[in-house]
Amino acid sequence: MKSKLLKNCKILEDGNLVERHILLEDHKIAYISEEIITADEVIDIKGNIVIPGLIDGHVHFREPGMAHKEDFLSGSIAASKGGVTTIIDMPNTIPPTITVQNLEEKRKLAEKSIVNYGFHFGSTTTNLPEIKNAKNIASVKIFLNVSTGNLRIENSETIEAIMNEAKLCTIHGEEENLTKAIGIAQKLKKKFYACHICLESEIKEIRKNKKHVYCEVTPHHLFLTEKDKEKLGKLADVKPSLKTDKDREALWKALQSGIVDTIATDHAPHKKEEKLESEKSGLPGVETMLPLLLDAVNKNRLTLQQVIDLTSKNPAKIFRIKNKGVLKEGYDADLTVIDMDLDKEVTSDKLLTKTKWSPFEGKVLKGWPITTIVNGNIVYDHGNIYEIRSKEIKYEKPKPSFGRKKEENQEPTEEKEENTEKQETTEEKQQETEETKEKDKEAIQEQPKENQNQESQSNEKGDKNE
Ligand SMILES: [Zn+2]
């Protein structure tokens, strides 16, 4: 790629906004400078704030099997508009991602994505051999609650076997199922990733067992409650369901006290007609998460640093995503430019997801992403989409200290984690160089593309729950 200088940026440094110029070279952040330096191309950021691109660790982009609701192109276009530069897709597609072959097929479909992408692998009562052979995955997802097809697992021994095998498990476990998962994690001395936590009681449970649980919350549980069902009707159906005001306040307190590690969208689109016709759980969210959070920053409910940590730094760390999540020299040039003063209403006609509706329709939010850069390429800029193919994320090797049965007495400590990170750096650098060389098949088409709405309406059975 040509080198690009983003001039007149503001970035957060030790909690303060400072003026800097950012040089992008070879798809990386090459240099962060106080002086203007030369580059092939200079882009004036006009004093707006640049943050690390968001990493949404929980989306359902619906391919294969339900591409009329979303696909990797439409979903990634929506993500780019929402300032999201990396997504990790969930396995409950049709067919579900529960074999190595299914994973390889999904990998091919995802090549059209314009934001970076990764995959969670599904688990069943019988697919442990496939889990062992699945390469380059973010986690193994276990559904302890009702979900697509036969992916729900109830047997504790099976769950234990999966958790023991997987480097990391993401778990849909509500209430007593969360307790069950925690019990197994305690026994194995493992830490798992609890998806969409939304009840005060669940927060209490996690607080007691924090060393075994990474905690994710969604924007819809932070910004909507069961009262919104009155207005939204069936459109508000989601799993887990919208909760009470008291639960919502508990989530906000948990954000402040550090119990919550990540905010992820659980972007699970259905067409509006489908939601109204029958029971379909799931809400779109990948386009609206960042504006909702920036609006909360403007209202002093969160700091910008918290938003960065919860949506970029922490997911990169938890899923061990290589070279992302931080705005620093040497890291991948995945960046989001935000305008904290921009006031805009969420309106369905402006949405780029195939679903074309939002539970936040009509909300006026202050603070929006205006430009999104993925691997050094501008993919979204003030309403324009540039369809430049992105790439699959890579993961660091698991840290040796925690989770293996044979090392039962070891507890995780920040110190140990940091040391391991340092050791891995050299190896990573070598791999990175090779990856950079192999890159650069960039087909640029300049034009916000109309989404293809006409795909078949088949395969309706498996998509009820997320
Ligand atoms: Zn989900």
- Within 13 A of 209's CA, how many CA atoms are on the CB side? 26
What fold characterizes domain 50-386+447-463? TIM Barrel (3.20.20)
Angle between helices 200-208 and 245-257 (to 10 degrees): 30
171 CA to centre of ligand 1 in angstroms: 10
**How far does residue 90's CA lie from ligand 1's centre (Å)?**
7
What pLDDT is recorded for position 146?
Answer: 79
CB 46 within 8 A of CB 85: no
Q: What's the whole-model pTM score?
A: 0.87
Show which residues are catalytic.
266
Q: How far, in Å, is the centroid of ligand 1 from the Cα of 282?
A: 8
Could you tell me which of 270, 290, 284, 264 has the C-alpha nearest to residue 80?
Answer: 290
Cα-to-centroid distance, 24 and ligand 1 (Å): 34
Tell me which residues of the chain have a pLDDT lower than 70: 147-150, 399-466
- Within 8 A by CB and 6+ apart from 32, the residues are 11, 20, 21, 22, 23, 327, 328, 329
Query: How remote is the CA of residue 147 from the centroid of ligand 1, in Å?
Result: 10
Determine the pLDDT at residue 419: 41
Query: How many CA atoms does the CB half-sphere of 286 hold within 13 Å?
Result: 35
CATH 3.20.20.140, the chain: domain bounds: 50-386+447-463
- Among 147, 51, 54, smallest CA distance to 98 is for 147
Report pLDDT for 441: 39
pLDDT at 449: 41
**Longest Cα–Cα distance in the chain:** 61
Asked whether 138 and 104 are in contact (CB, 8 A), the reply is: no
CB 427 within 8 A of CB 368: no
Closest among 81, 57, 59 to 70, alpha carbons compared: 59
* C-alpha 445 – ligand 1 centre gap (Å): 31
Ligand 1 center from residue 105 Cα (angstroms): 20
Q: What are the residues whose beta carbon lies below 5 Å from ligand 1 (ion)?
A: 266, 466
4 C-alpha vs ligand 1 centroid, how far in Å?
Answer: 37
